[in-house]
Chains A and B, each alone.
Chain A
Amino acid sequence: MTTFDFLLQGMLVAAQPMNLLYALIGVTLGTAVGVLPGIGPALTVALLLPVTYRLDPGGSLIMFAGIYYGGMYGGSTTSILLNTPGESASIVTALEGNKMARKGRGGPALATAAIGSFVAGLIATLGLAFIAPFVVKLALVFGPREYFALMVLAFVTVSSAFGDSTLRGLTSLFIGFALAIIGIDQLTGQARMSFGVPDLLDGIEVTTLAVAMFAIGESLYIAAQGDQGPDKVEAVKGSVWMTAQDWARSWKAWLRGTLIGFPIGAMPAGGAEIGTFLSYAAEKRLSKHPEEFGHGAIEGVAGPEAANNASAAGTLVPLLTLGLPTTATAAIMLAGFQQYGLQPGPLLFATNPQLVWGLIASLLIANFMLLVLNLPLVGLWVKLLTIPKPWLYAGILLFATLGTIGANPSVFELGMLLAFGVLGYGMRIFGYPIAPVVVGLILGPLAEQQLRRALAISQGDVTVLFTSPVAAVLLVIAAAALIVPLILRARGRGQVLSQLAANED
């Protein structure tokens, strides 16, 4: 069977009325939560995971896919109208989008973001469908040592290659690893780091950690800033429709953004922001109106927003084909798979093609639904932005704890939620990134397993890790991704970052 047949089959699964309903609920919830200020896609997915607990795996993953895409759309609305981007990947959208909104061109800004997201989502999801089978074939020849090398590369890129400090990125990652040790060792059945507490034998739930760090840590941090007066929500004046000139200036930016974003997302390395920054820089250079950049250039919204969504779809390539999450959102989605005992990876394509292709096809459907939901109904979502902060954060914490209680109604679990929330708050104060903790927690045990398998095959010979060409190349890239930024930062005190910052003016 060809990819096309598989996709067609997936369409049949996704087009079943119940699954369409799940997708619709997913995109609606995803947009509604994603639009709330301060909530990015990772938290959206973590908060809404409990809603899917009682569904069958297929329906739940379809709803999940809708939530993921919906959260991405919602985030762009927030950054355009409120200038407090809910996710780091939306920072660039906020740059030009908020300026446009202040000039009364919020409507076209939202439209170009939504249509750009749609175009990018469509192309990138098709890209996912056509690339996935090749990666699966490649992955089938991977042994434990290649997987281990791949995971090392993901660890480095998620934690330290980007961001502003190698030390703090690595520290976050290793805190995640330390938490990952807790529980029963999968190969020998020994309890590690559980200190005789039965609740710890199962290890730490990824969703508990993610919700605690993102929702509670962030709420504490915002609360600790004190009362800074209400945020100014830009009203959407005039038409949401784009003029002919807007279209002419947007369509190339959408396509370029997609071309930049998708490969970056699809690589087994972290960092959705990079695609948006690159796209912004490219649009600024190629634009016929460079003087408008910084004052509300429509290309500066269209390109990065397309890049953002394309790399979001791209992240699903390593997640589905290799079981490798490269963002916090993907890590939580992996946890969503695991709650049904499904391990994404090449085998899932063989054992459960209906599920995988149904999921990919429902991403396409979710994308259409989102376009309809977001363009005409944008006024409704804007209302959500005007919820006063006390009620907003009270509600966020209500749902954050609801998810944890729903998964495991124990006082101990809530205690962990509180402890990790305080830890997340502390990390936020000192500028430690959160995503590496989450990725370290879920990917750490998998990496340990692959490493120990590789060494069991070689009977303890460590050099075997470097004698496979694929593994060796991956490890060399990982080492370069660790060392090069370190040198750059030491010499130019963060040239990468200052270059990105220079784009702001």
Chain B
Amino acid sequence: MSKGNTPSTQTRRPDRAALVIAVFLAALAGLIFWDTSRLAEITSYSGIGPATIPFVIASVLLLLAAWTVFEALRGDFPARERQEFGPVIWIIGGLAAQMLTLKPLGFSIATGLLFAATAAGFGKRKLWFTIPIGIVLCLGVWLVFAGLLQLSLPAGPLEHLFW
């Protein structure tokens, strides 16, 4: 979505961010049209096949996009609160780091990184302190959930010491 835009409280000018949302909705509709058009040939005797409902949904999305443009031009969107993007980047970075390190390094280290990055996003920036805490905590969680409740949480070098 349009998180790159600077949210501000313009009222009577066209709302750029809202226009970006309209483009997003129209693009989503286009994607549905494009993907399901190849299914349009398949119809049952009921007259509607696997492509019918997606076509309806995509059409409504186009209408909603037009409506969004209309409201954006009239400045009908509510005022946004100012967003600080530093913390957001910390947390998104933490989630990405967890995603990438989950398989090679195991649940505890990967999720410990996420833990520390989230804490950093909320102001605790002492990573040398928060990363070890996160890893130890996640190892405890891993032992409970993978050990006792038998969830399949990926194990890495650290977990193999215990299991």
Q: Which residues of A contact B (CB under 8 A)?
A: 50-51, 53-54, 164, 167, 170-171, 174-175, 177-178, 181, 185, 187-188, 190, 192-193, 195, 216, 219-220, 223-227, 389-391, 393-395, 397-398, 401-402, 405-406, 409, 411, 414-415, 417-418, 421-423, 425-427, 429-431, 448, 451-452, 455-456, 458-460
Contact = CB atoms under 8 A, between A and B. Distances in A.
A11 B114 CA distance: 44
Given A174-B64, A414-B95, A225 B84 contact: yes
B50 A429 contact: no
A430 B153 contact: no
A268 to B, nearest CB: 21
Interface in B91-139: 91-92, 94-96, 98-100, 102-103, 107, 111, 114-116, 118-124, 130, 134, 137-138
Contacts of A406: 145, 151-153
Interface in B55-104: 57-58, 60-61, 64, 67-68, 71, 77-78, 80-81, 83-85, 87-88, 90-92, 94-96, 98-100, 102-103
A390 B141 CA distance: 18
Contact of A192 (B2, B54, B91): B54
B42 to A, nearest CB: 6
B35 A195 contact: yes
Contact of B123 (A181, A390, A418): A390
B64 A390 contact: no
B95 A398 contact: no
Given A225-B84, A394-B115, A171 B151 contact: no
B87 A223 contact: yes
Contacts of B47: 455, 459-460
B114 A167 contact: no
A219 B18 CA distance: 23
A474 to B, nearest CB: 19
3 cross-chain pairs, A with B, having the tightest CB-CB distances, nearest first: A460-B47, A426-B1, A223-B87
A224 B94 contact: no
Given A406-B151, A430-B18, A185 B50 contact: yes
A456 B115 CA distance: 52
Contacts of A417: 95
Contacts, number: 199
Nearest to B115: A394
B45 A456 contact: yes
Which size bracket describes the interface of B in this complex? 35 or more
Nearest to A427: B1
Nearest to B96: A418
B130 to A, nearest CB: 8
A188 B42 contact: yes
B119 A394 contact: yes
A297 to B, nearest CB: 30
A394 B116 contact: yes
26 contacts: A53-B149, A170-B64, A178-B28, A178-B32, A185-B50, A187-B44, A187-B50, A192-B36, A216-B91, A223-B90, A223-B122, A225-B81, A389-B122, A390-B124, A394-B114, A398-B137, A401-B98, A402-B153, A409-B102, A409-B154, A418-B96, A452-B53, A455-B47, A456-B44, A459-B46, A460-B46
Interface string B26-44: 0010011001100100101
Contacts of B48: 451-452, 455, 460
Nearest to B118: A394
Interface of B: 1-3, 7, 17-18, 21, 25, 28, 31-32, 35-36, 39, 42, 44-50, 53-54, 57-58, 60-61, 64, 67-68, 71, 77-78, 80-81, 83-85, 87-88, 90-92, 94-96, 98-100, 102-103, 107, 111, 114-116, 118-124, 130, 134, 137-138, 141, 145, 149-154
Contacts of A394: 114-116, 118-119, 122, 130, 134
A84 to B, nearest CB: 15
A217 to B, nearest CB: 11
Contact of B154 (A216, A395, A405): A405
B83 A429 contact: yes
Given A223-B84, A223-B118, A452-B48, 11 more contacts: A188-B49, A188-B50, A219-B118, A389-B122, A391-B124, A398-B111, A398-B138, A411-B103, A429-B3, A430-B77, A458-B46
Given A219-B91, A402-B111, A460-B47, A431 B1 contact: no
Nearest to A226: B84
A423 B1 contact: yes
Contacts of A411: 99-100, 102-103
Interface centre among A401, A421, A423 (most CB of B within 10 A): A401
A277 to B, nearest CB: 20
Given A414-B102, A429-B7, A220 B151 contact: no
A332 to B, nearest CB: 18
B87 to A, nearest CB: 4
A420 to B, nearest CB: 11
A220 B114 contact: no
A190 B42 contact: yes
Contacts of B141: 398, 402
Contacts of B100: 411
A190 B42 CA distance: 10
Contacts of B119: 390-391, 393-394
Nearest to B44: A456
A484 B115 CA distance: 47
